[in-house]
Amino acid sequence: MQKILVAHDGSKASDKALKKAIELSISLKSSLTILTVVPELYLTELTDSDRSKIVESLTRESTDSMEKIRKMLSGKSMDVKTLVRQGDPAEKILETAQKMKVDLIITGSHGRHGTKKFLIGSVSSKVVDYSKCPVLVVK
């Protein structure tokens, strides 16, 4: 296994997925890419200007979060890359995995807005359903 992609959105489940991805990456000597996706906002109540400001703020927050993770991992002997994308989370995870030709996608079972009553979150479910490579869902 050469390349691992982990989706991270700041949720507890994605923190667990990141921890598992780090363990696997070190033990398998794989490169690790940590991806966060800033979702598009479709709220009709917002003006384009307000929507733009919110997306800009979320992007800045996501970039800062990825920088903290990158710094935290800088002491470990592993190849780590962080990416921030914008759009539909499942689509961007799948698109990134395909472009990078990753060997494994790791994702949390639920994102920030996931609910415990469902077995698996909608983003994780889409990734599992449409991925061309194996997917590890961490609960």
Q: Kindly state the DSSP code that residue 36 receives in the 8-state scheme.
A: E
Residue 88 belongs to a domain with what CATH number?
3.40.50.620
Taking the C-alpha atoms of residue 118 and residue 134, their distance in angstroms, rounded to an integer, is 22
Q: What pLDDT, in 10s, does the model give residues 71-81?
A: 888 877 789 99
d(CA 128, CA 93) in angstroms, rounded, equals 11
Looking at every residue in the chain, the average pLDDT score rounds to 88
For the chain, the domain total comes to 1
More confident residue, 47 or 68: 68
Q: In this predicted model, what pLDDT tens digit does every residue of 9-57 receive, in sequence order?
A: 988 999 999 999 999 999 999 999 999 999 877 766 778 888 888 889 9
State residue 120's pLDDT score.
Answer: 60
Domain that holds residue 8: 3-138
pTM of the model: 0.87
Give the residue ranges of DSSP H helices in the chain. Answer: 12-28, 48-73, 89-100, 122-130
pLDDT in tens, 82-97: 999 999 999 999 999 9
User: Which distant-in-sequence residues (6+ apart) come within 8 Å of 81 by Cβ?
Assistant: 31, 32, 33, 34
Q: Which residue has the tokens 């790791």?
A: 106
